Amino acid sequence: TGKKKLFHYNVGYSRYFYSNGWDTFTNSINLSLGLRNKKKTLGTKLSTSYLFGTDQSFQIVSSTYANAIISRTKNHVLKFRPQISFLIAQQTIALAQIDPLDTNSVVEYEYNDIFELLNTQVNLPLTLSTKSWDFELGYNINFPSPVESESNLDPTSFFNISIGYLIDLKKNK
């Protein structure tokens, strides 16, 4: 139609069959809504997930990104797409306590359900796309938010690499 879509949405379901004995959240129902400008140089997305298995949780992720084309030819495009994301989620905090009056030193646990900002992530990816291939190299920095009685948490960082190949299923006539 030639119209550029400013709004986009996605609905999905995920099922994890192999969880290495950790089956707390083996299912996920996801909904995301996004908005971007006409030139697709700025955008934001709000994603929600309901996680369930032997336990359940809910999370919200808000992401804002920029999309800068560094180089473009008829055979490739090189992009820099920095992004900042905020993860807000439901989490159960278990606090171990020992009753000072109890001579047996029995540990008792107090459980608190919270719904707070758990992490802020900055993603700095460089992407090279050709007609059939996508290559991405990125650097990520996490800024975890302490909750309840946690002390200050140190930032963490990591590199990511991704290689994708597009298989064209359309038949040429």
Q: For the chain, how big is the Rg over CA atoms in Å?
A: 22
CB-based contact 43:73 (threshold 8 Å): no
pLDDT digits (tens, 9 = 90+) for 75-107: 999 999 999 999 999 987 777 777 777 677 777
109 — pLDDT class (breaks 50, 70, 90):
confident
pLDDT digits (tens, 9 = 90+) for 122-144: 999 999 999 999 999 999 999 99
